[in-house]
Amino acid sequence: MSENMQARMAEATRLTQEGRLNEATAMIQSALGNNAPPAGSNTGADGFDFPIDVTSRLVGGTQQGPAAPWRGAGLGPDLFAQTAPNLRTRGVQHPPGSPFAKTAGAADVGDDERFFARSYSGAAGARSYKLYVPEGYAGEAVPLVVMLHGCTQDPDDFAAGTRMNALAEEHTFLVAYPAQSGSANMQKCWNWFQPADQHRGQGEPSIIAGITRQVIEDYAVDEGRVYVAGMSAGGAMAAIMGATYPDLYAAVGVHSGLAPGSAHDMPSAFSAMRQGNPGVPMPKVGSNGRAEIPPTVVFHGDRDGTVHPRNGDRLLANLTAGDGSSLKVSTRQGRVPDGHAFTRISYRDTEGRSVVERWNVHGLGHAWSGGGRPGSYTDPKGPDASAEMVRFFQQHAREK
């Protein structure tokens, strides 16, 4: 990044902090100049372009792509009401005060009522989140998957696009969807690029870990089978969660994300998104003294014009650094019928388990591979990232 661009981005940061968003947006657009991604770099499955303005991600702007409808009981997407419907859970007992508990006279309103709004508050702050409890959950210990949405998204949108709840029904696991607040980031991006939100025990990692632990405390969760995954800014934050809480998460899924430490402010965030900055060493030691990064599966489209595909390679390099000689590498190429081709590189340990996977989806833009409509930023023509992540997670359990 040139000195001139660095100066402009620093000024944009200052204007944003002062609430002068229109001026900040104009400054960023001026700084980016003619470096916009080529037309068609975010071509959707329907063959039309929906270019994503990276300016809107951190400063302001409108949501791009088709928006998912709110799936709650007549509430708008910013209202996370605590509900207490009748959950058909085959006799499961919910903790006292849980919004999952049945109230007198509550009606049986169907499967969508297994998707509940909750909230968490801790020393680093508070966030709402939604939790999906599959019908097969009967109080026995089951896995938990934590899903971190991308910019402008919310839990309902992300659940609709990834279709992770359907997989939860099939395989019987809980799914938690933390919701980034507009007060923390105007476009509801997880602040993966802020130093205060990149370390264990502080900022947003502390909040996400707190949500995870709250679900573990309130429900029967197999603590050795807790996983975290995310898309875009959520993917970058998922990678940070794996690096900073290896004692909490058994495996990680990163879709269209970036390596931990690849940015430390807004200018470096833009630089990383556009060209793929290397990550920097980060603390990787949990409370039990373990230093390894959890097994990780990485998805990225090679036509991603928002987060450069090189970021997937940067993350792969970080994950395999120092372990390459002990891992067996294999490559598989394939194609989804009437869809995108892909290349999968697997790094297997001595027991034959895939500990790192890198999926390069050819022709995919900035979208969840194999995702469904009406969720935003999805491309149904790619391999099913959600199903592949669940398969990958099932291979790994953390020692308790």
Q: Is 284 exposed, middle or buried (0-12, 13-18, 19+ CB in 10 A)?
A: middle
Token pair 């991604």: residue: 37
Computed over its alpha carbons, how large is the radius of gyration of the chain? Answer: 20
41, 56, 206, 232: which is the annotated catalytic residue? 232
- DSSP class per residue in 257-320: ---TTS-SSHHHHHHHHHH-PPP-------TT---PPPPEEEEEETT-SSS-THHHHHHHHHHH
Q: Is 232 considered catalytic here?
A: yes
How far does CA 393 lie from the centroid of its chain?
A: 15
Return d(Cα 129, Cα 148) in angstroms, integer: 10
Helices marked H in the chain — which ranges?
A: 3-17, 21-32, 54-58, 155-162, 164-171, 203-218, 233-244, 266-275, 310-320, 385-394
Give residue 261's region: left, alpha or beta (phi > 0; psi -120 to 50): left
Q: Kindly list the catalytic residues.
A: 232
